[in-house]
């Protein structure tokens, strides 16, 4: 999924508030900023992700849900139907990133936050080696997939889509397998939903999520700051 190290994105020039300054009851921890590579990657490293606050797409918010959705890699629920579908489909990584983002964008009927601005920003991150996609093909047709951001042992799943039964689930199976092979430890789903629960997802309080994130970003042999 990440054969070469990602390129340096430089320093974030925005002053994000520290976690202890966040409103404990609000999923939005700050507003403003931009979608430059440095800003986005710094946000993910600190437990935030960008999304517009309104349908006019005029106010950029940085979110860190009070209850964070995650999928433990060893708890993915793989059904017989998913295994059967996987045998009939072809999986690739990072072969059609923009197409996956556009398909994810078109899969939302209302209030879609994956705008052209987001597509360009994340495609830039893909070019720099930070954003990744999983594609699911039936013959030569793209029928499912997902995309997200990887930082060390952490993957932030942003969105997924399907055009045939189980195709997005097959993409998730492939992602989890690749993460396990790479020794990664944290798959972030942002929010918990009943659909994700059916696949094995659970919720963590924000404080616990941030601890898990720090562990996933910590090189082997180094003690995380919260454990010192």
pLDDT above 50 (res 181): yes
Q: Is 128 exposed, middle or buried (0-12, 13-18, 19+ CB in 10 A)?
A: middle
Q: What angle do CA 150, 134, 98 make, to 5 degrees?
A: 90
Q: For helices 80-88 and 167-181, give the axis angle rounded to 10 degrees.
A: 90
Pairing relationship of beta strands 186-190 and 154-162 according to DSSP bridges: parallel
Per-residue pLDDT, 134: 98
Q: Which domains does the chain have, with CATH numbers?
A: 70-206 (3.40.630.70)
How much is the pLDDT for 107?
80
pLDDT band of 109, cuts 50, 70, 90: low
Query: Per residue in 143-167, pLDDT tens?
Result: 999 999 999 999 999 999 999 999 9
pLDDT at 2 over 80: no
């Amino acid at each position: 999924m990440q054969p070469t190290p990602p390129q340096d994105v430089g320093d974030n020039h925005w002053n994000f508030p520290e976690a202890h300054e966040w409103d404990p009851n609000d999923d939005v921890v700050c507003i403003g900023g931009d979608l430059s590579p440095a800003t986005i990657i710094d946000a993910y490293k600190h437990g935030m992700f960008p999304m517009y606050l309104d349908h006019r797409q005029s106010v950029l918010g940085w979110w860190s849900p009070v209850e964070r959705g995650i999928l433990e890699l060893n708890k993915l629920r793989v059904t017989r139907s998913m295994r059967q579908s996987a045998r009939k489909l072809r999986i690739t990584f990072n072969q059609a990133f923009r197409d996956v983002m556009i398909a994810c964008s078109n899969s939302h009927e209302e209030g879609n936050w994956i705008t052209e601005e987001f597509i360009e920003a994340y495609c830039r991150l893909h070019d720099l080696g930070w954003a990744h996609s999983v594609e699911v093909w039936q013959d030569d047709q793209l029928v499912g997939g997902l995309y997200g951001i990887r930082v060390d042992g952490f993957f932030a799943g942003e969105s997924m889509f399907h055009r045939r039964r189980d195709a997005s689930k097959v993409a998730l199976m492939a992602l989890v397998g690749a993460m396990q092979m790479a020794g990664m430890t944290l798959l972030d789903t942002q929010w918990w939903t009943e659909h994700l629960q059916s696949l094995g997802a659970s919720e963590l309080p924000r404080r616990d999520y941030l601890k898990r994130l720090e562990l996933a970003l910590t090189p082997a042999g180094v003690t995380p700051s919260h454990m010192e």
